[in-house]
Amino acid sequence: MKALILAGGKGTRLRPLSCTRPKLLFPILNKPLLDWTLESLAEIGISEVTLAVKHMAEAFMQRYGKSKYGMKISYSREKKPMRTGGAIKYAEELIGHKEPFLVLNGDIFTKIDYTKLLKKHKETNAVAIIALYRVEDPSRYGTVKLTEESRVTQFAEKAPPGQAPSNLINAGIYVLDPKIFDHIPGGRPVSIEHEIFPKLAKEGKFFGHEFKEIWMDIGKSRDYLKANRILLDTEEKKRHLGKDANIDEKVKFNDPVMVDAEVKIGQKSRVGPHAIIGRDVVLGREVLLENSVVFPGAILSDFASVTGAVIGEGATIGKGAKISEGCIIGDYVTIRDNITLSRDVTVCPSKEVTESVPESTRII
């Protein structure tokens, strides 16, 4: 069976970190999200994965090449952003018409049991089966109305609060029959959520499958941090220390923490809970790091404090600098010594911050 991963979005809600890397290559517990997805597809015997790419297409092609995890990798490279439905239509030739195929939004992390979803497709022979996840507040998502036989009779995209047909949301995972290609107009951008699913629901060709395994989307910065935190909590091992990590004996860990290879941590630093530290990161002495993700190669100088933030690749946080909850520091940013960034400050890649920032703002 083939799988198509939608990987071409701009990820504007994850700026400034998505200015320099596609959303699907954001590290989740120090491994790119797309690697988690590909591994799970390899496990169920998928033979070929097509990546539907546009924004920063080269980053995918360089990293994944022609095969990965024993699967063939091909690329459907759009000339302009075709959006979710248009991207599926654009990949028609690569996918072919032989058999049903799996489609995934690339910006989700899930442990769904794909075999149950595929079984449901066999039983119903639907044009489309959609995986559904129950949430408390469905207002950010597409929601469905389901009959007892799991037929979708209504699909509503981002219904206003209180008006969603149910709390079952579109998890961004579908099994599609090649007949779907006849339902999507070619040659222009098409949103599958706005244009195609509501019609399929009316025509009775659309079925749903509720699942309860882990599912998270990482569309926004807060979601991204939360996904890392929740997954770190699910790890059996509470303290991961990577190969050749150089940790002073006076470092105080507050588990859970995940430290990648070649990381250096200086004396009396306090690390955790929920500190996820990428490869080659350096923490000086008496640094405080909690509830944060630090991308590879960043430097947190002596006495710096980072709480509830994401620190981009190769960024430098100066001595005694204080980075507060909700801050997102872009790749290769420099925060000078003793600077304080208040809550929710975001800093674009390669900027240098020389004055403290007292209120939530974006530094571009």
Closest residue to ligand GTP, judged by C-beta, is 9
Nearer to ligand GTP, 192 or 200 (CB): 192
How many positions of this chain bind ligand GTP (CB under 6 A)? 22
The residues that bridge with 317 in the sheet, in sequence order, are: 300, 335
Q: Which of 31, 80, 122, 158 is catalytic?
A: 158
Q: Nearest distance from residue 224's CB to ligand GTP, in Å?
A: 11
Active site residue 158: yes
Q: Nearest distance from residue 244's CB to ligand GTP, in Å?
A: 34
Please name the amino acid found at residue 18: S
Please name the amino acid found at residue 56: M
Q: 324: which residues sit within 8 A by CB, 6+ positions away?
A: 307, 308, 309, 340, 341, 342, 343, 344, 345
CB atoms within 10 A of CB 47: 12
Q: Nearest distance from residue 12's CB to ligand GTP, in Å?
A: 3
Nearer to ligand GTP, 218 or 251 (CB): 218
Q: Nearest distance from residue 58's CB to ligand GTP, in Å?
A: 14
SS3 label, residue 197: helix
* H/E stretch holding 124: helix 114-124
Could you give the CA distance from residue 287 to residue 15 in angstroms, rounded to a whole number? 26
3-42 positions binding ligand GTP, by CB under 6 A: 6-13, 23
Nearer to ligand GTP, 76 or 305 (CB): 76
99-118 positions binding ligand GTP, by CB under 6 A: 105-107
Cα distances (angstroms) measured from residue 77 to each of 20, 56, 99, 108 = 19, 10, 22, 21
Decide if residue 85 touches ligand GTP (CB under 6 A): no
Q: 59: which residues sit within 8 A by CB, 6+ positions away?
A: 21, 22, 25
Q: Nearest distance from residue 217's CB to ligand GTP, in Å?
A: 8
211-270 positions binding ligand GTP, by CB under 6 A: 219
Summarize as ranges the residues that interact with ligand GTP (CB under 6 A): 6-13, 23, 52-54, 78, 81-84, 87, 105-107, 219
Q: Which residues are catalytic?
A: 158
